[in-house]
């Protein structure tokens, strides 16, 4: 039978246990508290950074809406320097490209889109940047570059229909009307944007010889 200890013996047992384990217990508790509060600090810091990046991105958009591509470029550069790796940086590049297109600066738009493509943090955003870059290349008359870019980035995902529509435009420009017809139909099947415009392009193609 286990003997009952007197109060003095219990105190002595606790002292000895504390001497043997006290430091490790303190360290363990400290680590646990540090993990909890450290996580909260990191989480708070990330949220603050995200909010700051969002505000910086809004400055880029404001410049684009105002029709000021030079200010948009300055704001996009500041955004990239301050928040490298953030999704807002790539979005800022896309917005800058839009400003360049509206200013009829296709070379500048292509440069901004190449930058967006190089630092897009997700496959979806990379596909969007590639799609817009391919459209700019098509507008520049560089059909080969546009075709090669589509081949590298069209995975049939979210923008599959839009890539197909652009392939149709390229095929039409090259006089490959059967390929254009097939691409436009695929675009419609995959739910490409501006479906009505694609239908008009499809109807404007020369009749199918078959």
Domain edges within the chain: 24-121, 142-210
Name the pLDDT band for 179 (thresholds 50, 70, 90): very high
Task: Assess whether pLDDT exceeds 60 at residue 108.
Answer: yes
Helices 123-139, 143-153: inter-axial angle, 10-degree rounding: 170
The DSSP secondary-structure symbol of 158 reads T
**pLDDT digit string, tens, across residues 73-105:** 998 899 888 888 888 888 889 889 999 998 999
> pLDDT > 90: what percent of the chain?
47
Query: Of the given ranges (115-119, 154-158, 198-202), which has the lowest mean pLDDT?
Result: 154-158
Cα–Cα distance, 203 to 200 (Å, whole number): 5
Q: How many CA atoms lie within 13 A of 68 on its CB side?
A: 11
Copy the structure tokens of residue 11: 């105190």
pLDDT the model gives residue 53: 82
pLDDT at 61: 85
**pLDDT tier for residue 146 given thresholds of 50, 70 and 90:** very high
C-alpha distances out from residue 94 to 133, 168, 194, 202, Å: 10, 24, 20, 29
- Position 81 scores a pLDDT of 87
Rounded to two decimals, the pTM is 0.74
Would you call 62 exposed, middle or buried from its count of C-beta atoms within 10 A (0-12, 13-18, 19+)? middle
Count, residues in the chain: 210
Give the integer Cα–Cα distance in Å for 100 and 110. Answer: 9
Q: What integer pLDDT is reported at residue 191 of this predicted model?
A: 92
Structure tokens at 63: 């410049």
Q: What is the pLDDT, as a whole number, of residue 16?
A: 52
Q: Tell me the pLDDT of the chain averaged across its residues.
A: 82
Q: What is the mean pLDDT of residues 9-18?
A: 51
Contact (CB, 8 A) for 69 and 96: yes
């Amino acid at each position: 039978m286990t003997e009952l200890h007197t109060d003095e013996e219990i105190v002595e047992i606790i002292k000895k246990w504390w001497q043997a384990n006290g430091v490790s217990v303190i360290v363990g508790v400290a680590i646990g508290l540090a993990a909890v509060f450290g996580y909260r600090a990191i989480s708070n810091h990330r949220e603050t950074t995200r909010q700051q990046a969002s505000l910086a991105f809004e400055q880029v958009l404001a410049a684009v809406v105002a029709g000021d591509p030079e200010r948009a470029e300055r704001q996009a550069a500041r955004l990239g320097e301050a928040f490298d790796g953030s999704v807002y940086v790539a979005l800022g590049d896309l917005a800058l490209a839009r400003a360049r297109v509206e200013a009829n600066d296709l070379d500048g738009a292509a440069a901004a889109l190449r930058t967006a493509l190089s630092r897009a943090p997700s496959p979806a955003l990379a596909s969007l940047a590639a799609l817009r870059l391919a459209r700019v290349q098509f507008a520049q008359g560089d059909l080969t570059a546009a075709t090669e870019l589509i081949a590298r980035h069209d995975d049939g995902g979210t923008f599959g229909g839009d890539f197909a529509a652009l392939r149709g435009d390229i095929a039409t420009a090259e006089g490959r009307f059967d390929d254009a017809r097939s691409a436009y139909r695929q675009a419609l099947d995959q739910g490409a944007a501006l479906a009505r415009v694609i239908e008009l392009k499809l109807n404007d193609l020369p009749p199918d010889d078959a």
